C-alpha cells in the first residue's frame, strides 16, 4: 500500500497519560499535515511540516501537544497529560509541494 | 483566520437526481478549494478541487464552481447513485498558510434507491 499510513489505528488511554501517534506519508511527499476530527465535524488543522521544518501551528495545538518530523519522512504527534477533551480522530495528510492532500486512515483516541 | 460555512448539513435525494452543496469562505486570499468525501469510518478522500484562476471544473458526474467575487463555491453531483451516500466536506486554503485546509462542517448526503 503506497498511501498514507498511521499507527496505531485505535488508542485507549487514561486521563493524564501520554500518547504518541505515528504517520508515514506517501513516499517523496515533502509536506505533512496533522488534523483532528471530532464526531460530526470537519477536520481541524493542527500543524504542518515542509520536509523536517514545522512551519505552522494552529491555536488548537496547546503546550501539551508536540509534533516532530526528524528526517523529513515519518512524523510523530505526542499528547502529554491527556484530557477527555482530547478524544478525537487524529488524521495525517501528505502532499507533494502544494495543493492535493491525501489523508491517512487516522488514529482514534479515546481518553477515559 | 479563514471561516468556511457549508450548507445544507443534510441532504436526501432520490437516485438519479442531482445534489448541490454550497460553501462560503471569508478570507479573500484563499486560492485552493478541494472537496472531500468521507464514508463512515473511512478516511476523507479527495474527489475534486478547484484553484482560484478557474471558474468551473468537471470530472464525470461531479463538478465544482467557484465565484471569487462572492466568495462561494459549490459541488454538483449529477445522476446520483446510492454509493454517493457519504459526508462531503468543502475546504479552503491559502499559500500563506502552507495550504493548511480549513474545512466546513460537512454535508451528510443520502441517496435513496
Q: What is the pLDDT of residues A80-105, one digit of tens each?
A: 999 999 999 999 999 987 689 999 99
Digit-coded pLDDT (tens) for A30-41:
999 999 999 989
**Chain A residues touching residue B102 (CB < 8 angstroms):** 45
In this complex, is the C-beta atom of A12 within 8 Å of any C-beta atom belonging to chain B? no
Quote the CA–CA distance of A56 and A77 in Å, as a whole number. Answer: 14
Q: What pLDDT was estimated at residue B66?
A: 96
Mean pLDDT of B66-93: 97
Mean pLDDT of B90-107: 92
CB pairs under 8 A between A and B: 61
**Chain B residues touching residue A91 (CB < 8 angstroms):** 43-44
Q: pLDDT-based confidence at A48, cuts 50/70/90? A: very high
Q: Would the pLDDT of A46 be above 70?
A: yes
* Residue A4 grid coordinates: 498514507
Mean pLDDT of B89-105: 92
Q: What pLDDT was estimated at residue B100?
A: 92
Quote the CA–CA distance of A4 and A102 in Å, as a whole number. Answer: 7
More confident residue, B41 or B107: B107
The reply to whether residue A43 touches residue B44, judged by beta carbons under 8 angstroms, is yes
Q: What pLDDT was estimated at residue B98?
A: 83
In this complex, is the C-beta atom of B61 within 8 Å of any C-beta atom belonging to chain A? no
In this complex, is the C-beta atom of B91 within 8 Å of any C-beta atom belonging to chain A? yes
Pick the closest to residue B7 from B108, B109, B107 (CA basis): B107
Q: H or E segment at B64?
A: strand B62-67
Q: pLDDT-based confidence at A1, cuts 50/70/90? A: low
Q: Who contacts A70 (Cβ-Cβ below 8 Å, separation ≥6)? A: A52
Per the prediction, chain B carries an average pLDDT of 95
Digit-coded pLDDT (tens) for B23-67:
999 999 999 999 999 999 999 999 999 998 889 999 999 999 999
**Closest Cα in chain A to B43:** A105
Q: What pLDDT was estimated at residue A28?
A: 87
Residues A70/A52, Cβ–Cβ less than 8 Å: yes
Q: How many other CB atoms are there within 10 angstroms of residue A54's CB atom?
A: 16
* Residue B107 grid coordinates: 454535508
Q: What pLDDT was estimated at residue A26?
A: 94
Q: Which of A24-28, B94-98, B104-108 has the lowest mean pLDDT?
A: B94-98
**Closest Cα in chain B to A46:** B100
Quote the CA–CA distance of A85 and B94 in Å, as a whole number. Answer: 29
A8 preceded by cis ω (within 30°)? yes
Q: Would the pLDDT of B16 be above 90?
A: yes
**What are the two backbone dihedrals, phi and then psi, of residue A42, each rounded to the nearest 5 degrees?**
-80, 160
Pairing mode, if any, of strands B107-112 and B10-14? parallel
Pick the closest to residue A25 from A82, A87, A95, A108 (CA basis): A95
Q: What pLDDT was estimated at residue A77?
A: 98
Q: What pLDDT was estimated at residue A7?
A: 97
Amino acid at each position: 500500500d503506497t498511501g498514507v499510513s498511521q499507527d496505531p489505528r485505535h488508542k485507549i488511554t487514561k486521563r493524564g497519560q501520554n500518547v504518541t501517534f505515528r504517520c508515514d506519508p506517501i513516499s517523496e511527499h515533502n509536506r505533512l499535515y496533522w488534523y483532528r476530527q471530532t464526531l460530526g465535524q470537519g477536520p481541524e488543522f493542527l500543524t504542518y511540516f515542509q520536509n523536517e521544518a514545522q512551519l505552522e501551528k494552529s491555536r488548537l495545538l496547546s503546550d501539551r501537544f508536540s509534533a516532530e518530523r526528524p528526517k523529513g519522512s515519518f512524523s510523530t504527534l505526542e499528547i502529554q497529560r491527556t484530557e477527555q477533551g482530547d478524544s478525537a480522530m487524529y488524521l495525517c495528510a501528505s502532499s507533494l509541494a502544494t495543493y492535493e492532500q491525501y489523508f491517512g486512515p487516522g488514529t482514534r483516541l479515546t481518553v477515559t | 483566520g479563514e471561516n468556511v460555512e457549508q450548507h445544507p448539513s443534510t441532504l436526501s435525494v432520490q437516485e438519479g437526481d442531482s445534489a448541490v452543496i454550497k460553501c462560503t469562505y471569508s478570507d479573500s486570499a484563499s486560492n485552493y478549494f478541494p472537496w472531500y468525501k468521507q464514508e463512515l469510518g473511512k478516511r476523507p478522500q479527495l474527489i475534486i478541487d478547484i484553484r482560484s484562476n478557474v471558474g468551473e471544473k468537471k470530472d464525470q458526474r461531479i463538478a465544482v464552481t467557484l465565484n471569487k467575487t462572492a466568495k462561494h463555491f459549490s459541488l454538483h453531483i449529477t445522476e446520483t447513485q446510492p454509493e454517493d451516500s457519504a459526508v462531503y466536506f468543502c475546504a479552503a486554503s491559502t499559500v500563506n498558510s502552507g495550504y493548511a485546509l480549513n474545512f466546513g462542517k460537512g454535508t451528510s448526503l443520502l441517496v435513496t434507491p
